[in-house]
Chains A and B, each alone.
Chain A
Amino acid sequence: MNVRTDIIKPPKQDIFQSGKFRSIVVQSIVMFLVVAFLGWIVSNTATNMKANGISHGFGFLSETSMFDIGYLPFIDHTAAHTYINAFFVGLLNTILVAVLGIFLATIIGFLVGVGRLSDNWLVSRFCGFYIEALRNIPLLLQIFFWYHAVLRILPRAKNSINFNDHFLLNLKGLFLSRPVPENGFNYLLLAGLFSIIVIIIIYLWSKKRQNLTGKQFPILYFSLAILIIPFVIISFIYNFPITLEQPVLKGFNFKGGIRLIPELVALLLALSLYTAAFIAENVRSGILAISKGQKEAASAVGLTQGQILRLIIIPQAMRVIIPPLTSQYLNLTKNSSLAVAIAYPDLVHVFAGTALMQTGQAVEILFMTMSVYLSLSLTISLLMNWYNSVMALKDR
């Protein structure tokens, strides 16, 4: 067979016309422009800093900070500590408010979201009102509202709102009793650890059994029993090894106990109530996204209302809810920087505020602050992506 191969020749391509060449040229130009722009900015910055006598470098981090910080739940800071210490204090305070905020916002958000779908007309209206009212008002205003308007009408320390001396509320904050471990507390810890291990083993065993035989095992009641019984026994033996340290008014302030300063309380209230309004909407649309057939099928096989919600609706709704939930968590964390508007000593307030002021090194400090938020955002994204992949539909 004679095959002619010379008929179809690829058309001669001009190298300048080829897509590959063009893409390389375009990309090189873009790259060049970006680098030139960054270079221009860096050179301007350097010139300006030099001309204005602004010092640079990160040496200031190991210098003494000279200022005090008002709220130190984790690590100590005095004027004798360094700037890097102040940085960590601010960072921990930011993380504290973010974690507590996420926790509260999730609970409130789920309650309101489910309430919005309640068959009780009044409850559903209440939740609808909550959502529409809170998410259409700027967060900063809400923070100011809680801090300047609500928490400022609390009584002074002497006339605190007092519940049983374990819970005191006044202008200087919320004071709670603190559990203090006593002799024998270690045994309690050990017992708790042991109980958890036993529960995990039982859980794995029962799951296996259910897969093999279909028989269910009342895990919940057993787990509760395993947790509580050793606890009660040890408590009796050691005469309850936890005491509560009460806050006591000494001089100007309360001493002892756990203290939440009003700035933290206001920030937490505002952040969690605001974010909860958004989470509630996500939860609602997540539940609505589950087709009615699922519910009907579940009740057809005889599951109770509670079981339908727990075993059928929630696991499926979670797949829809998690991605927007992630971005709400991210928003909450970033919004916690509004602490700077009231006097809560978070990272922005302490480091990008006071420290920036004292050192004048704006470039380094803002660079560090932004990096922290970027890493926090990244961490939350990664965690939630991992959780999402756990919850995701498992395709065979």
Chain B
Amino acid sequence: MKLSNVLRLFTSILILSFGTSAIADTLSDTQARGHVRCGVSQGLPGFSNPDADGNWVGIDVDVCRAVAAAIFGKGGDEKVEYFPVSAKERFTKLTAGEYDILSRNTTWTLSRDAKIGLTFNGVNFYDGQGFMVPKALGVTSALELDGASVCVNTGTTTELNLADYFRANGMSYEPVVFEKADEVIAAYDSGRCDVHTTDKSGLAAQRTKLAQPDEHMVLGETISKEPLGPVTREGDEPWSDIVFWVLNALITWDELGLAGGDAVKSIVGDTSSTPEVKRILGVEGDTGGHLGLEKDWAYWALFEVGNYGEMYERHVGANTPLALARAGSPNAGWKDGGLLYAPPIR
């Protein structure tokens, strides 16, 4: 394309790179600052949402809390500063260094990983995109949605999956694209759109916000794979390693069946523990040293936040408004037929 060549020439002139950057050291910056900076969503129940007292809660928030506990030890889970961001701004603000972890129901994709300068550090929730429609429409399958108006959030993989799905099935649709999840829900609720689409966990969460939740249903189809996980900047491997291994420590605790809080206290002194447990607790060996952390990093993450299963049940599980059963879902452990599988901590 000719125009783009001219423009490219222009930017190359514009961007003369002099010198290279110093390697950023997020861990020591964080330790000096005394708290972890964490980008979260502006309010998605179950993932990150302020509660009535203004505290952030949710499965995404817990990842940040666990990282902070691993770094700062006892009581460290409180040492987090939260930055609510829109889907659109989340990556630019991360790469700009406004916060150091983006834990905001963010889907791991190739282009994000390779193109935008991001590193994805494992998965804390396996999701998939679905459709919600009013029961009154009488639609039972997503394949009956030809010609519908679909409300969707901008700057998400959801928008792209939607395009793919309708194109693959030879259907037409009218996308109505909003910046904020609240606007999407409001537009759907008022009838501006016939269909609301986002990750199924999001649909479950947002259905509770509708005027008459019983009048709406989520269609059976899951049209995409949405592995959601914490994101860090590319180029700071030590920091990315910490985030990755803290998340996987929580999953490992779940595999080992060790609960957090007071339950884990009794195990520390227990000499009969398996070598694996001792190693992860930091009683034997020094896994923390390789990460630049204290020996007992994984212990404090578990103590303050709990294992993955506890985290899940607390925020999105069967007893929450979202009511997403873990058993049988991809978010079950690998021994139970799920997809959660932590690499060995040794």
| Chain A directly contacts chain B within the complex, with at least one CB pair under 8 Å | yes
Contact between A362 and B8, CB atoms less than 8 A apart: no
A70 & B175 in contact (Cβ 8 Å cutoff)? yes
Option from B11, B115, B145, B177 in Cβ contact (under 8 Å) with A360: B115
> Would B3 and A343 count as touching, CB distance under 8 A?
no
Among B278-301, those with CB < 8 Å from A are none
Q: Does B4 contact A (CB under 8 A)?
A: yes
Q: A84-B3, A353-B154 are in contact. Are A52 and B234 (CB under 8 A)?
A: yes
Q: Are A253 and B146 in contact, with the CB atoms below 8 A?
A: no
Q: Which A residues from 38 to 88 make CB contacts under 8 A with B?
A: 42-43, 45-59, 61-62, 66-71, 78-80, 84
Q: A46-B16, A48-B21 are in contact. Are A253 and B160 (CB under 8 A)?
A: no
Residues A360 and B163 in contact in the complex (CB < 8 Å), given A43-B17, A45-B15, A84-B4: no
A252 and B137 alpha carbons, distance in the complex (Å)? 9
* Minimal beta-carbon separation of B13 from chain A (angstroms): 10
A356 to B88, CA, bound (A): 8
Distance from B186 Cβ to chain A, minimum over Cβ atoms (Å): 7
The answer on a CB contact under 8 Å between A171 and B19 is: no
A152 touches B190 (CB 8 A): yes
Q: Report the minimum CB–CB distance from A50 to chain B (whole Å).
A: 6
A50 near B21 with CB under 8 A, answer yes
Q: Contact: A57 with B8, CB < 8 Å?
A: yes
Residue B179, interface by CB 8 Å: yes
User: In the complex where A48-B21, A51-B24, A252-B149 touch, is A42 in contact with B14 (Cβ < 8 A)?
Assistant: yes
With both chains docked as a complex, state the minimum distance between the C-beta of A47 and any C-beta of chain B, in angstroms: 5
When distances are taken between beta carbons in the complex, the residues of chain A under 8 Å from B4 are: 57-59, 61-62, 84
Residues 76-91 of B contacting A (Cβ, < 8 Å): 87-88, 91
Q: Give the chain B neighbours of A118 by CB distance below 8 A.
A: none
- Report the separation of the CA atoms of residues A312 and B263 in the bound assembly, to the nearest whole angstrom: 92
Task: Give complex CA distance A51, B236 in Å.
Answer: 10
CB distance from B104 to the nearest CB of A (A): 14
Contact present for A252 and B148 (CB under 8 Å): yes
Chain A residues contacting B149 (CB-CB under 8 Å) are 70, 172, 252-253
What residue of chain A has the Cβ atom nearest to residue B114's Cβ? A53
Let me know if B34 is at the binding interface, CB within 8 A: no
Beta-carbon contact of B24 and A57 below 8 Å: no
- A284 adjacent to chain B (CB < 8 Å): no
Which residues in window 173-219 of B have CB below 8 A to A?
A: 173-179, 183, 186-187, 190-192, 194
Contact of A362 with B21 at beta-carbon distance under 8 Å, contacts A67-B159, A67-B160, A353-B155 already known: no
CA distance A53 to B236 in the complex (A): 12
A343 to B184 CA separation, bound complex (whole angstroms):
10
Q: How far apart sit A68 and B176, CA to CA, in the bound complex (Å)?
A: 10
Query: With A50-B21, A80-B167 known to touch, is A57 a contact of B11 (CB < 8 Å)?
Result: yes
Looking at the assembled complex, report how far the CB atom of A38 sits from the nearest CB atom of chain B, in whole angstroms. Answer: 10
B21/A47 in contact, CB under 8 A: yes
B321 proximity list for chain A (CB < 8 A): none
In the complex, what residues of A have CB within 8 A of residue B11's CB? 56-58, 363-364
Q: Given contacts A68-B162, A84-B4, A251-B147, could you give 20 more A-B pairs where the C-beta distance is less than 8 Å?
A: A46-B18, A54-B95, A57-B11, A61-B7, A62-B1, A62-B4, A68-B163, A70-B177, A79-B160, A148-B186, A152-B192, A171-B192, A255-B147, A343-B176, A345-B177, A349-B177, A353-B88, A353-B155, A353-B179, A357-B154
Q: Nearest 6 A-B pairs (CB), nearest first?
A: A53-B117, A357-B155, A58-B7, A79-B163, A46-B17, A52-B117
